[in-house]
Structure 1
């Protein structure tokens, strides 16, 4: 289980997503309007609904359990079949969508495939099958954003959903084939005692996901309800562009849970793993925020002039989704260490309530900016909670180096909101690199550990790390 090689494979999917989606949005912006984009945003919103409401055994629990078994060479078809059965048991719940407009009804098969594919992906990455996951993910994204341009040209939301459904069928089929080749032919086999055990164990995460839906999507729902699909299109577009840096970082973070679970099962110390991961991800997070904001502004101004009204929203949403990433990554180590997850439910309920409340209070007064402010409030609260709980459970013990990075994090967020000139961004990059070098944030011993995972083509990374350490 090599975290760096796996991160690169995961990153390939994110890179494809960014490139193909950018082409899709450029074409959509030229030949369509925010109202059509708002319908696309509703389908994407239904994906989030599916993950939040119908993912009864959270993917994190599935990946952790499979990773533990894989490390001990105990994975078998029976356990995999049991996990694969629960999306089929969720089919009756999808029928709730029959009360919605026709194009939403048509999306039901796609949403089921989306759920099933997520479960398959959680299983195969737990078995260190990141190559197979990357192949399937890249193909699906090409269909999702590339071929669906045909539907945009025809202004046909029904054809759009049918193309996404085709992508879902191909993706599920490929992941199933890869899995079957690894362990043999697998069939869903419901075991209610087994499923209930893992449902109960993952219940705090599941309930947190429900509440998290309102904290992450409550601003979109409120925008759609109060302002209509036009402003939802602008807001959702700003959110998608702002989410690119966190998507890229997420590709790196996706390997943390299976890797931490794998090595925890082999007896490794999660405190050392979490500390080094936090420091490396902090460096990448700081650079991602500083570089992405001016690039995003250029992209929106140059290619998407119809969405310029969302520029300020874009900046705040980018900060709220990206700055907390290194702290949020500690959640993977909490789950891998099998700590009590019930406190996350309290956090999610609080966050969901705050987003809905602040959105209803702010959006009527200041428009879509109110939704962005809601998100930055939630991001701050979530980060403080995860940090506090990681320390309390002894999964993460911040020393001098970690405290320095924790103190810098909010300063960079405030700086990017207040300061505008691009040349100042270059200055802050120099300051961050100087801090890493002055305080030796990454030690020589840790660089040698990283070198052990680096593929031959990335040996230059250790040279860069030495230069700033």
Structure 2
């Protein structure tokens, strides 16, 4: 289980998604009408609804359990078949979509395949099958955003859905083939006691996901309701651009849970794993923020001048989604260590309430900046909560080096918000490098550990880390 190689494989899928989706949406916006664009958005929203509300056993629980068994060489097709059975139990729930327009009814098979494929992927990454999931992920994205351009050209939403169904069928068949080759021919095996046990354990995460759906969309809905579509467009565009660095960092997050679970099952200390991960991710997050903000400003000013009014919002949202990434990553170690997940439900409900309250209080007074500030407030609350809980459950230890990085986070945020022009970020970049060097945030021994996971073509990264160790 090599976290660096696996992160690179996950990153390939995310890169494909960003590039092809960008081309798709630009072409669609140019050649289609708003009505067609809206129907595409509805299918995407139904994906989110399916993932949020129909994923009864969260993928984190599936991946953790499979990773534990894989580390002990105890994975068998019986366990895999039991996990694969629960998407079929969700089929009656999909019938709700029969009440919607015809193209939504046609999307029901796709949504089922989407759910089943996510379960397959959760199982496969628990078994270190990142190469296989990268192959199917890239194939699906090429069909989803590339081939579906044909439907856009013909303005045929039914053909669009049919192409997505084709992508779903191929992804499921290919992942099923890879999985069967690994563990033998797998058939769904219904075991209510087994499923209920894992449903009960993952219930806080499931309910948290539902609450997070409300909190993540609360500022958008409030902006649309109070300010109208023009300002919603500004805000949504800023949010999309600001979310790119976090999306890329998501490739790292995808490998943390299976890696932590795998090595935890082999007896590794989660406190040591979480500490080094926190410090390495802090370096990556700091550099991502410092580099991304000037680039984002340049791109908006040069290519999207109509959206320059939202630049300050973009900066706040980018900081809120990217800077606390090292803290949020501690959740993976809490899950891997099998600590209680019930506090996350409380956190999600708190976040949802705070987003709605602060959005209604701030947006009427200061416009879309109010929505961005609302997200910053929620980020501070959420990060603080996760940090305290990780310390209380002894899955993370706050040492001198970790304390320095936690202090640096708000200082970097304040610098980015109040210091202009963007080229002064070069001073901040140098300051971060000096900080890591001066306080030896990453030790020479830890660099050697990282180097042992690096592919031969990426050994130069270890050389760079040695400079600041």
Greater alpha carbon shift after TM alignment, 295-304 vs 375-384: 295-304
Query: 1:273 maps to which residue?
Result: 273
Q: Secondary structure at the match of 1:340?
A: coil
Whole-angstrom CA distance in 1 between matches of 2:38 and 2:421: 32
Query: 2:169 maps to which residue?
Result: 169
Query: 1:67 maps to which residue?
Result: 67
| Counterpart mapping for 1:189-268 below 5 A | 189-224=189-224, 232-268=232-268
Give the drift of 1:38.
4.9
Greater alpha carbon shift after TM alignment, 285-294 vs 235-244: 235-244
| Counterpart mapping for 1:49-60 below 5 A | 49-60=49-60
Q: Taking structure 1 as reference, are residues 148 and 447 closer, same or farther at Cα in structure 2, changes over 3 Å only?
A: same
Q: TM-score, normalised by structure 2?
A: 0.94
Q: Taking structure 1 as reference, are residues 434 and 281 closer, same or farther at Cα in structure 2, changes over 3 Å only?
A: same
| Counterpart mapping for 1:151-162 below 5 A | 151-162=151-162
Give the drift of 1:39.
4.5
Q: 1:264 touches 1:337 (CA, 8 Å); kept in 2?
A: yes
Whole-angstrom CA distance in 2 between matches of 1:307 and 1:159: 33
| Counterpart mapping for 1:277-296 below 5 A | 277-296=277-296
Greater alpha carbon shift after TM alignment, 230-239 vs 79-88: 230-239
1:114 and 2:114 aligned: yes
Q: 2:207 touches 2:345 (CA, 8 Å); kept in 1?
A: yes
Greater alpha carbon shift after TM alignment, 414-423 vs 441-450: 414-423
Q: Taking structure 1 as reference, are residues 129 and 251 closer, same or farther at Cα in structure 2, changes over 3 Å only?
A: same
Q: Taking structure 1 as reference, are residues 428 and 66 closer, same or farther at Cα in structure 2, changes over 3 Å only?
A: same
Q: Taking structure 1 as reference, are residues 376 and 156 closer, same or farther at Cα in structure 2, changes over 3 Å only?
A: farther
Q: Secondary structure at the match of 2:211?
A: helix
Greater alpha carbon shift after TM alignment, 371-380 vs 425-434: 371-380
Q: Secondary structure at the match of 2:57?
A: coil
Q: Secondary structure at the match of 1:396?
A: coil
Number of positions where the alignment pairs a residue of Structure 1 with one of Structure 2: 469
Whole-angstrom CA distance in 1 between matches of 2:30 and 2:363: 28
1:353 and 2:353 aligned: yes
Could you give the per-residue CA deviations for residues 265-313 of structure 1, whole angstroms, max 9, x where no partner exists?
0000111100000000001001111111222233334444554454333
Q: Taking structure 1 as reference, are residues 15 and 435 closer, same or farther at Cα in structure 2, changes over 3 Å only?
A: same
Give the drift of 1:357.
2.6
1:401 and 2:429 aligned: no
Q: 1:72 touches 1:265 (CA, 8 Å); kept in 2?
A: yes
Give the drift of 1:15.
1.5
Q: TM-score, normalised by structure 1?
A: 0.94
Q: 1:260 touches 1:336 (CA, 8 Å); kept in 2?
A: yes
| Counterpart mapping for 1:92-131 below 5 A | 92-131=92-131
Give the drift of 1:411.
1.7
Q: Secondary structure at the match of 1:254?
A: helix
1:378 and 2:378 aligned: yes
Give the drift of 1:56.
0.7
Q: 1:274 touches 1:330 (CA, 8 Å); kept in 2?
A: yes
Give the drift of 1:361.
3.8
Q: Taking structure 1 as reference, are residues 152 and 427 closer, same or farther at Cα in structure 2, changes over 3 Å only?
A: farther
CA root-mean-square deviation: 2.2
Q: Secondary structure at the match of 2:48?
A: helix
Q: Secondary structure at the match of 2:187?
A: coil
Query: 2:332 maps to which residue?
Result: 332
Query: 2:444 maps to which residue?
Result: 444
Query: 2:180 maps to which residue?
Result: 180
Query: 1:320 maps to which residue?
Result: 320
Give the drift of 1:229.
6.0
Give the drift of 1:365.
4.8
Give the drift of 1:354.
1.5
Q: Taking structure 1 as reference, are residues 182 and 51 closer, same or farther at Cα in structure 2, changes over 3 Å only?
A: same
Greater alpha carbon shift after TM alignment, 357-366 vs 379-388: 357-366
Q: 2:294 touches 2:423 (CA, 8 Å); kept in 1?
A: no
Q: Taking structure 1 as reference, are residues 168 and 365 closer, same or farther at Cα in structure 2, changes over 3 Å only?
A: farther
Could you give the per-residue CA deviations for residues 224-266 of structure 1, whole angstroms, max 9, x where no partner exists?
5556666555443332222111111110121110000000000
Q: 1:355 touches 1:375 (CA, 8 Å); kept in 2?
A: yes
Q: Taking structure 1 as reference, are residues 465 and 219 closer, same or farther at Cα in structure 2, changes over 3 Å only?
A: same
Q: Taking structure 1 as reference, are residues 76 and 227 closer, same or farther at Cα in structure 2, changes over 3 Å only?
A: farther
Q: 1:20 touches 1:146 (CA, 8 Å); kept in 2?
A: yes
Give the drift of 1:418.
2.2
Greater alpha carbon shift after TM alignment, 175-184 vs 211-220: 211-220
Give the drift of 1:391.
0.6
Q: 1:56 touches 1:199 (CA, 8 Å); kept in 2?
A: yes
Whole-angstrom CA distance in 2 between matches of 1:102 and 1:359: 35
Greater alpha carbon shift after TM alignment, 31-40 vs 52-61: 31-40
Greater alpha carbon shift after TM alignment, 435-444 vs 207-216: 207-216
Q: 1:285 touches 1:326 (CA, 8 Å); kept in 2?
A: yes
Q: Taking structure 1 as reference, are residues 174 and 366 closer, same or farther at Cα in structure 2, changes over 3 Å only?
A: farther
